[in-house]
Chain A
Amino acid sequence: MNSSFQFDWQAAIDSIPYLLKGVPYTLMISFGGLAIGFIIGIIFGLMRISPTAWLRWPAIAYIEVFRGTPVLVQVLFIFYGLPQLLGGPIDALTAGIAAIAVNSGAYISEVVRGGVQSIERGQREAGVSLGLSRIQTFRYIIWPQGFRRMIPALGNQAIISIKDTSLFAVIGVGELVRQGQIYIATTFNALEVYMMVAIMYLAITLTLSVCLRLLERKGLVGQ
């Protein structure tokens, strides 16, 4: 089959300023959602390993529900469904951040659990036998070591969540994909524009990967 298609470099370059307008939204949804997701993850991850059943069970339920349903369904539920319950609209940006928060929060809970549980029992015993309280032992001994072990998995989750935000074009939030779609609607350069969109995602995720690698290398001291 013979294609007479020519890749239009000019069209690709022309789309950049327009697409860049979407980048702040992509970043806001990703990192806003991940920041909240991290807090949720710490709370539910620790509840998940609590010996107290009434703390453990809600955490298990939360993790199973939000890990076991698609993030697209979650954002549609928040954006279209929740307003019916609340009686007022939720703006698309808030809905996007909330969806990333609850979704990444479920995964991060498991990351936190794994990180904390990977610390040898002897560390806790050494802490409490010095007279440190359980909370002090956690804060000064268990958490710093556990957190270091969580970094690769947290980085993984951040990259997944950044890419997940691309789905939120469906609720009309002006992130990267949405900007691309709008641009293509007038110029019809789907190949060029989606390639530029892909490159921008890659630029974000590669930057993050490099930062994580530096952070990990720094953390290697004393491990």
Chain B
Amino acid sequence: MQKDGAKPIVRMEKLNKHFGTLHVLKDVDLAVTPGEVVVIIGASGSGKSTLIRCINGLEEFQSGHLDVDGKELLPNGKASKALQQIRTEVGMVFQQFNLFPHMTVLDNVTLAPMKVRGASRDEAQQTARRLLERVGISDQAEKHPTQLSGGQQQRVALARALAMEPRLMLFDEPTSALDPEMIGEVLDAMRELAREGMTMVIVTHEMTFAREVADRVIYIHKGEIVEQGKPEAVFDNPQNERTQSFLARVLTH
């Protein structure tokens, strides 16, 4: 058991990704152990979103090794069978929420458990209502997503992902599209999730939040991991000069 616990759920070795002539990810090594909260920071265009999108196959990579939950993802988008299994176990929250606008909040949350896991409607709805309550929007279940605020929509998106009982959650700038007054409610929900022991990989610009919840902070610059460590180490005593100048820019406002 303990041995299993130490085995990484994400293992990325010498991962390379190209967009045409652009070298987006350069020899990226990353291992995430179960229960760990990893926060990836970096300037826009540094490749941090691309990096987490590789983990559930939304982006292809060209070379290197990647396995998630023991299932290997092959370069150039091959092995679609493993890919669907991985996606079933890995939840994702997007910057733009990406809720399904033609369905009610409740149907957004029950769709995948019913169609992928084969849950009955009753079971799925019970789970969905419990999750919606947990993220504080149980009274909105019958509404359509466009009737909700951005913060509420993002919390529905979180509940939708959690309904699949994922072993790993990916967050791609979950608060970047939100009005400032709504950022807190989403971060609170994520904080609670971290406290419960969920394995999380988070791309964010919220440095205070990163410092608070991260077990490990990774700074990525032009597709390369240039520094990583405990949040106190990276934020208070960055070793790399690129990290220093990045943090100087983002922490002084």
Where the two chains meet, the residues of A that have a C-beta atom closer than 8 Å to any C-beta of B are 120, 122-123, 125-133, 136, 140-141, 144-145, 148, 221-223
A-B contact pairs, 13 of them (CB 8 A): A122-B98, A123-B98, A126-B100, A128-B58, A131-B88, A131-B112, A140-B115, A144-B102, A148-B102, A222-B145, A222-B146, A223-B101, A223-B146
Contact A126 B98 (CB under 8 A): yes
The dominant DSSP class at the A interface is: helix
Nearest Cβ in chain B — how far from A184, in angstroms? 50
Contact B112 A130 (CB under 8 A): yes
Q: A125-B58, A221-B144, A222-B146 are in contact. Are A131 and B102 (CB under 8 A)?
A: no
Q: Is B209 an interface residue (CB 8 A)?
A: no
Contact B96 A122 (CB under 8 A): yes
Q: Which of A125, A126, A128, A144 has the most CB of B within 10 A?
A: A126
Contact A132 B116 (CB under 8 A): yes
Q: B211-253 interface mask toward A, CB cutoff 8 Å, 1 = contact, 0 = none?
A: 0000000000000000000000000000000000000000000
Expressed in whole angstroms, the Cα–Cα distance for A131 and B157 within the complex equals: 15
Where the two chains meet, the residues of B that have a C-beta atom closer than 8 Å to any C-beta of A are 56, 58, 84, 87-92, 94, 96, 98-104, 111-112, 115-116, 144-146, 157, 160-161, 164
Expressed in whole angstroms, the Cα–Cα distance for A125 and B88 within the complex equals: 13
On chain B, the residues within 8 Å of A145 by CB distance are 100-102
Contact B111 A130 (CB under 8 A): yes
Expressed in whole angstroms, the Cα–Cα distance for A141 and B112 within the complex equals: 11
Contact A125 B94 (CB under 8 A): yes
On chain B, the residues within 8 Å of A141 by CB distance are 100
Expressed in whole angstroms, the Cα–Cα distance for A133 and B84 within the complex equals: 7
Contact A131 B100 (CB under 8 A): no
Expressed in whole angstroms, the Cα–Cα distance for A82 and B95 within the complex equals: 56
Contact B87 A129 (CB under 8 A): yes
Nearest Cβ in chain B — how far from A137, in angstroms? 10
Neighbour of B94 across the interface among A122, A132, A222, CB < 8 A? A122
- Of chain B, the residue at the smallest CB distance from A125 is B58
- Of chain A, the residue at the smallest CB distance from B104 is A222
On chain A, the residues within 8 Å of B103 by CB distance are 222
Contact B116 A131 (CB under 8 A): yes
Contact B111 A126 (CB under 8 A): no
